[in-house]
Chain A
Amino acid sequence: MRISVAVFCAGLVMAASGSDAVDRGFEDVTQTAGIAHKHTNRSFKNAYAAIMEGYTALGAAAAVADFNGDGLDDLFVTDSQESGKNRLYRNNGDFTFSDVAERAGVANGNDAENASSDALWFDYDNDGHPDLLVLRFGHNQLFHNLGNGAFRDVTRRAGLDRSMNAIAAVAFDYDRDGWLDLFIGSYFQPVNLFRPATPRFFPENFETANNGGGVTLFHNSGNGSFTDATEKAGLKTSGWTLDLGHADADNDGDDDLYVACDFGTDRFFVNNGDGTFSDMTEKAIGIDTKKGMNVDWGDYDGDGFLDVYVTNITDDYMREGNFLWHNNGNLSFSDVSRETGTYDSGWGWAGKFLDYDNDGWLDLYVVNGWVSAGKENYVPDIFEMIVRPGVDLADARNWPPMGNKSLSGYQKKKLFHNEQGQIFTEQAARHGLDSVRDGRGIAVADFDNDGRLDLFVTNANSEPFLYRNTLPAGSHWVEFLLQGAKSNREAVGAQVRLTAAGRTRLSFVNAGNGFASQSTRRVHFGLGSGKTIESVEIRWPSGARQLFRQLQPDRIYRIAEGSAAARHFTAKGVKK
């Protein structure tokens, strides 16, 4: 029935879209916002440099948090070249930003032995100031937010100073002890990529490679330090991790994990509630051979269970297709990407759920493209290697240099509009979001607190985009900023169930889901034409539940765990 309903809806949508002309919904304000600094890929200076160039076009990442507590979401943006500075863009409240990274002490993320690859804000010490983790090919950096605009490097003291070649991280409280733990994914093994001692550090094959960097779980001890709990928790893997996503898949109160892997099988781990996880991959999603690059969780069909969106490679020469994993509610998932129209987004990278038009349904924005360079295509080169009998793929010397050739380049980004939970229609061009740069991350946030979600898109070897949401402000919305008490202070993992117009929707607080990008910590709901919110239930990570009734729409609420009041929140110094 799902397919026939979807086809029926598609017919309605097509009929409708032919008659209405809607203005462009986003405006590119990158230049005027003062946020157009270009990302540059790392160039290596070793014997394998020419080969590595083609496989390390990564590191263009962004992370959102209100680092200075002024009620406006700010941005941290990475560069990857040796002399490149990372940027901390303070939101000035008028859709302009000021780079304060040098002053804050977080600009120096790149040097001869380290290349920035991703970033994550999380309040590891529950002091109310989001701290900053910078992931790197090399050694990560943890900066403690001092609360006065400055940060202190506490990497060593925190026990996080180790070679990891990390590419993705999420923070969540897996054992619900009130402290945010760290789950980090690494692409390469912990070899020194800048001075490799061996040429055998490339993937051993394209579909079941197990010689990657895997994952590492760091347990937060609550005293400013972390301990490696990977094996104890049962999370040992050795795939080529590209992204991680945490969410409560079975609504049992603790967060489960999806791990997206390049060159092999994605993994799904169920939280056992006792500090350990069970690998349920085979039962939940089956064994795939694709090139997983993104994990985002969202309840796209409003059935009360969080679904998963994973990007893979889809092009003329390789038609893997993305996964839209519909959560069946029993810790198993069904891929509905084909029937929902979200199957093909090219060589996909970040794909984020967001309700950009506040109609009450989660849409999907997906960026794509690997390397957009010269007219010559790299595909024949790579396939010539693949079909060579007995080729040792783990040996980097066997891989052809990419030179100035393109591989799945100049691809148009996709904006999939959710048509009432059944099917998605592609509308990127209509809204001016169909750039052809090599997209990597998408940070979603309401930068001007107007209830409409804006987008910051990072691009490899290129300038980013800041898209201001300018859709007509007629649809209603509400946002929640949660603060834990017994739970971790940022309330990561808290679920919010909002009921309006007789329909209940589920969202949650996540920290770092989606490739190369952390979106706002706020929980946002579009309400369409609905002017009343019947109820809001919050399920805190501590297990506590709170219910609020008859809230007003079009507001941002700050709710503290255990407090009976939902306070209307106003940002300091917002300039309209």
Chain B
Amino acid sequence: MSRLNAFLLLILFTASSGTARGVEPTAADNHYREAIKAVSAKDYTTALTEFELALDIDPDNLRFASDYRQAVILAKQYDRCLGFFEKLVTAAPAASNAYLNYGFAYVDKIPDAGAITQVILANKSLSLFSRSIELKPSWIAYYTRGNSSLFWPKIFGRTPLGVADLEEAMKLQKTENKRGFHVRAYIALGDGYWKMGELDKARTLWREGLAQFPGTSPLVERLAVEGDPLKALIDGMYDPNKRVDTNLHELWTD
């Protein structure tokens, strides 16, 4: 199944489940529903407009914003998206999820940018993730900022900051009910330790993650190799030229 089809199926499913919440759809829901229909018809112009109308009404809605960005990626309308989020956070300065998605909008543009612009975009995204944390510390915000920091080359000294964020995310998830996406913190934090040269600590954490989430491929792969193959595996995961999956659907489907 192509990435596009999987995305469409997912959002059609989640859109239809919106009415199953047993509440009357709001105006924002209606715009969201129209946006989803337009995406399935590949009418991205309409889709983006409808998503934006939905977010104007409900700026802190994580799902609206995440699906909006996925449509933006399909339409390659990154600058429109960035302009929209800039206005959105100005209008809703307390919407932490809007800041989070604003940051992701910069991340979404990175694979289509040149090497230097990638740095500028990544730097902007980090500051927006920080603002999101300031407004509402959450697992997703700490995980996101921590994981983003791991993409920076060692010379910039951001790895320890990323590890600190990921340790915070790990603390938070241990106080919450176990969710499928929590395995991501085990993977990323282990990678952070590896990048800091703490291989034993990394392997211990990956093993712990595997015990918690048996069969998780990224953990199995990391634990199966050492030395250069492990380096190649992790370097490949943090290649800025590869698109990072920033779809947040796990947060409401898991």
Taking beta carbons and an 8 Å cutoff, which residues of A are in contact with B? 205-207, 288-290, 313, 316-320, 377, 379-380, 383, 386-387
Contacts and interface: CB of A to CB of B under 8 A. Distances in A.
A316 B114 contact: no
Given A207-B114, A289-B114, A319-B241, A387 B119 contact: yes
A506 to B, nearest CB: 33
B239 to A, nearest CB: 7
Majority secondary structure of chain B interface residues (helix, strand, loop or mixed): helix
Contacts of A380: 155-157
B6 interface: no
Given A377-B155, A379-B155, A380-B155, A318 B120 contact: no
Contact of A319 (B154, B155, B239): B239
B115 interface: yes
A318 B115 contact: yes
B123 A207 contact: no
A374 to B, nearest CB: 15
Interface string B114-141: 1111011001000000000000000000
Majority secondary structure of chain A interface residues (helix, strand, loop or mixed): loop
Contacts of B146: none
Interface of B: 113-117, 119-120, 123, 153-157, 239-241
Contacts of B113: 289
A337 B156 CA distance: 28
19 contacts: A206-B114, A206-B117, A207-B115, A207-B116, A289-B115, A289-B117, A316-B153, A316-B154, A317-B119, A317-B156, A319-B115, A379-B153, A379-B155, A380-B155, A380-B156, A383-B119, A386-B116, A386-B119, A386-B120
Given A319-B239, A319-B240, A290 B156 contact: no
Nearest to A318: B115
Given A207-B117, A289-B114, A387-B123, A316 B155 contact: yes
Given A319-B239, A379-B155, A386-B119, 14 more contacts: A207-B116, A288-B114, A289-B113, A289-B117, A290-B115, A316-B153, A317-B153, A317-B155, A318-B116, A319-B241, A379-B153, A380-B156, A387-B119, A387-B123
A387 B126 CA distance: 12
A205 B119 CA distance: 13
A387 B120 contact: yes
Which of B115, B156, B240, B241 lies at the interface centre, i.e. has the most chain A CB atoms within 10 A of its CB?
B115
The 7 closest A-B pairs by CB, nearest first: A289-B114, A206-B116, A207-B114, A316-B153, A318-B115, A387-B123, A317-B153
Which of B113, B116, B120 lies at the interface centre, i.e. has the most chain A CB atoms within 10 A of its CB?
B116
Nearest to A206: B116
Nearest to A383: B119
Contacts of B123: 387
